[in-house]
Chains A and B, each alone.
Chain A
């Protein structure tokens, strides 16, 4: 490597009091060359954010126990506050995870970009403002002059992140630290932000330290990556090497627990156990308690840093012995066929629902109607999984709320086994349809024990009585792999994954026919998500329950659902069997969604397609086809005036678009842009 721009050696950072120190980062070393993009990968608690802020010289209560951080041969940890201040924002700048909270709510956007320019480069107000405008233009924000006068909350999430990026680039830094910059953004927004990062990097030659939990995102941006686990660097190397020939069991497990859009398997590999308690670390290799390859030596001796090939290192005793292929340890089953001719369990016809947005202030003002669902129709058969895919604002959660009876539709009908359902419905009907929510933190009452929570449906619906209740609670705890010892716990004593398991147990306690899963894994770490998806599948097999699976994550959907419906602005744009929907010809919106999903493995995915702009105001949906304002394949006037017809391409498969299937197919089968050699072991045979 040439002279590195950033060189971290033996870094150790700890938090807490003298009595109870938590060593968050231990003995981490890596270097970044000028202009290079380096990715730090890790799950929550891995210490990746601590490292990012340490490079900024911001330890936030943490203490550096050992090591140094050299930036152009100067140790950041030894700088005076003044020297640090002149470095920050000028030579090293940062882009944060949550753009809205990182922007000052009371300052205009333009000023927030300009103030750094004035301060570091000594420009006048006028010159700095002009410079800020050109920066906003460079990050492709429309009409910078006007946008500069707006406040952060008036911008969309994607625009906010662009502003934060412009702010970071204000003084042409040599190093840009990006801490989960796309987490919390919609897939299509994420894709355009990542494109922007790549574009800026090649234009400005800035080096990037990219922090993320998402391997696919890192793959898209970084030249080299380092994998962190519980505060230690486990593996490091060139991105494609690490992702395709991982030399550390943790990296391997992580890769196998990701549902990939390009493949479909019956079970995901999950990582047993959970992150170790940082205050009492396991001896030997810190990963050994969870490692599938662990042997005796792993518990006794800390593994050396092994350079398996030039530039690719792994901290594992058996780094050289690991098999090349990422073998699937579970058999992949063929896809279930559509339940044809069977009567649907749930039938939703032309469902409409609008919220009344109040513009009242006291007794004055008027109300406006904001449509959330504008004529949605779906059917779910017994025992099948239908996934609803859509970005935020698509109406997918409203649909779920209508079906479980939390919201009253304003039009259309919901039938369950032929019986129409309204928001006020008998308890027996409510029992049949249960729901699992997205946020495990809020789904359980913090003042009830796990046993009380799971027992409640049993009591409410009179399913068990007396001692049988406890019996059943234990059965259910076992079914979600928690075990009896959890029954006396309070939710605050559980991890996110454990909480979500309790939610699942509570839903299944009611012995439901249909379970609505509203993004049940989106708040969890990758390895936990894999385990949970597996359990949901197993429960379905055991009880024959139907799932309505709501998600924004196409990879997860691909993994779990038999059929998919794609929603946008309260309408379904496409529906069909999962495997078919993921193949062209599909609706341009589906195409853009698929194209946006970051993947770990390089797969042939058709031409790159990006959506510009943001989802229109639902109070004012576009006429004609609702998607025409952002559609990259828009035909012309007809899209703006006429609602698109439904095109049926095969049994149970249809999309709503003015473009006929043949034309779409021709458009969508153009040569690929990703030319990397596909790895045979990552592919599923039945997909080809």
Chain B
């Protein structure tokens, strides 16, 4: 059967991203932090395809080197959020009652900060390094994932196959792991993809605001921040990292959107 256009596009995109993460540094023409002092602020040309920055560093190389931290950071923080949110949501939805009440009120409090603000606060107070960025964004995503999983598992927990398992005398762990989890898996995949997109935005915004990874790490958001002062004369310093962010984040959103549509189809096949 011919693959639908959309899923081919999604697959292609995922492959590109994986390649970028794996090979970015090898395809890059120059090391990310190599100074070419005679080629400061050069526009895009044949030697430096996307131009150079104020230290004469090759913009293309920095973008390629920057792909890995940007994407790994996003994947790790989205993963952490989903990893924290899934058990919380499953347990709250399945057990209900007081436990649900307590867990969800805690989630409410975490939710009562705008995402970027909470992430910023945590990173600032814990110190700007990649691990803390992942932790901060993971915590920001935690209640959002938990709420989603809870709403699904709450609905599932009322279904009769869960009642049947309870009536049989199955252990809670079995019900959570074998009966409920497979049913939320497809939603988790969608949620994860959309969270990756959100994490790319958040990490980029954090580094743009100067919170997050510290120079000279070639994070894309940081490159935009540093390049902003040369906007008038060297717009490529801002434009190309922006384009990189746009490509990856739009692509991820499209993949997530595509997956969401697939999952929403009634009687649709299972994903993952």
A interface with B by C-beta (< 8 Å): 404-406, 425-427, 430-431, 433-435, 437-439, 442-448, 456-457, 460, 492, 503, 506, 510
Contact = CB atoms under 8 A, between A and B. Distances in A.
B114 interface: no
Contact of B163 (A406, A425, A447, A456): A406
B182 interface: yes
Contacts, number: 51
Given A445-B179, A447-B182, A460 B161 contact: no
A445 B161 contact: yes
B167 A444 contact: no
B97 to A, nearest CB: 10
Given A405-B166, A448-B182, 9 more contacts: A405-B167, A406-B167, A431-B169, A433-B167, A434-B168, A435-B164, A443-B161, A443-B164, A445-B179
A492 B159 contact: no
Interface in B148-183: 159-161, 163-164, 166-170, 179, 182-183
A409 to B, nearest CB: 15
Contact of A506 (B163, B164, B182, B267): B164
Interface in B113-165: 159-161, 163-164
B261 interface: no
Contacts of A456: 168
Contacts of A447: 182-183, 270
Contacts of B160: 437-439, 442-443
23 contacts: A404-B167, A405-B166, A406-B163, A406-B166, A406-B167, A425-B169, A427-B169, A431-B169, A435-B163, A435-B164, A437-B163, A437-B164, A442-B160, A443-B161, A443-B164, A444-B161, A445-B182, A445-B183, A447-B182, A447-B183, A447-B270, A460-B169, A510-B168
Given A442-B161, A443-B160, A446-B183, A460 B167 contact: no
Contacts of B166: 405-406
A434 B165 CA distance: 10
Contacts of A457: 168
Given A442-B160, A443-B160, A434 B167 contact: yes
Interface residues of B, number: 15
B222 to A, nearest CB: 42
Given A445-B179, A445-B182, A492 B164 contact: no
A406 B170 CA distance: 12
A369 B244 CA distance: 60
Q: Which 8 A-B pairs have the closest CB atoms?
A: A447-B182, A430-B169, A437-B160, A427-B169, A442-B159, A443-B160, A404-B167, A445-B161
A155 B95 CA distance: 32
A430 B167 contact: yes
A668 to B, nearest CB: 38
Contacts of B163: 406, 435, 437
Contacts of A434: 167-168
A503 to B, nearest CB: 8
A325 B169 CA distance: 50
B267 A492 contact: yes
A460 B166 CA distance: 12
Nearest to B266: A492
B167 A435 contact: yes
Nearest to B183: A447
Interface in B87-130: none
B173 to A, nearest CB: 13
A438 B160 CA distance: 9
Contacts of A448: 182
A456 B161 CA distance: 12
A406 B164 CA distance: 9
Contacts of A443: 159-161, 164
A437 B183 CA distance: 20
B146 to A, nearest CB: 18
Contacts of B167: 404-406, 430, 433-435
A506 B164 CA distance: 10
A460 B183 CA distance: 21
B65 to A, nearest CB: 42
Interface in B166-211: 166-170, 179, 182-183
A205 B169 CA distance: 59
Contacts of B270: 447
A426 B183 CA distance: 28
A421 to B, nearest CB: 12
A309 B126 CA distance: 91
A122 B255 CA distance: 52
Nearest to B270: A447
A510 B170 CA distance: 13
